[in-house]
A = this chain, B = another copy of it.
């Protein structure tokens, strides 16, 4: 365990193998599991210390380079979760195992971030969001409230790699993105739109619209989707 002298810890449920760096704060009744790191520094700040021939050890290097992060209360950071610096996470958040949340990311309240999900930094996530396992969310992505991202949804931010422009996708409130779908850089997914599993979304999707395929095309409406979901729940389809 390494807890920065600058950090403020308000929970007693913290693993002996956890690392809390910089001016981080951890809220009440939050569980900080095995090998969790809070406030991990960016490459730039690490390298600038090393270039100036930093003389102390590993933990001191990380701590000095860290900007710290803010973790709310009743959060559960499962084993191996790493949160970089300048991250603000709300209350009642649950991460799976080995989740990565990079710098300058803001996460609302009551959010689930599934095992192995990678959030690349400079991302905004609303309230009541459910992100399944293995989701990839790159820089500049914006996710509204009540959004669902199925397992292994892959979001991109560079339409013509390797370009110098990174444009994030925007996912509006209540949108549902099916498993293993790919969102191409800069697409806007409208309110309560539905993306079928395995789609590749190359264009904006209007609100309350269901799309599917490679590339994704409209196949149904939000209204019909809700009816089908009801039949599914009743075991009739």
Contacts and interface: CB of A to CB of B under 8 A. Distances in A.
Interface of A: 12-17, 19, 29, 31, 34-35, 37, 40, 43, 46, 50, 57-59, 61, 76, 79-80, 82, 94, 96-98, 100, 115-116, 118, 120, 130, 133-134, 136, 138, 148, 150-152, 154, 156, 159-165, 176, 178-180, 182, 184, 197-198, 200, 213-214, 225, 228-229, 232-233, 235
Contacts of A160: 225, 228-229, 232-233
Contacts of A148: 161-162
Which 10 A-B pairs give the minimum distances between C-beta atoms?
A198-B200, A160-B229, A182-B198, A154-B180, A160-B232, A136-B151, A15-B58, A180-B182, A156-B179, A165-B233
Contacts of A232: 159-160, 163, 165
A81 B188 CA distance: 35
Nearest to A156: B179
A15 B34 CA distance: 15
Given A151-B154, A151-B156, 6 more contacts: A43-B76, A79-B82, A134-B136, A163-B233, A180-B182, A184-B197
A78 B136 CA distance: 18
Contacts of A197: 154, 156, 182, 184, 200
A225 B160 CA distance: 8
Contacts of A17: 17
Q: Please give the count of copies of this chain that the complex contains.
A: 3
A58 B214 contact: no
10 contacts: A15-B59, A17-B17, A19-B34, A82-B97, A148-B161, A159-B232, A160-B228, A163-B229, A165-B235, A180-B200
Contact of A34 (B12, B35, B138, B229): B35
Nearest to A234: B165
B94 A43 contact: yes
A115 B115 contact: no
B118 A16 contact: no
A182 B228 CA distance: 20
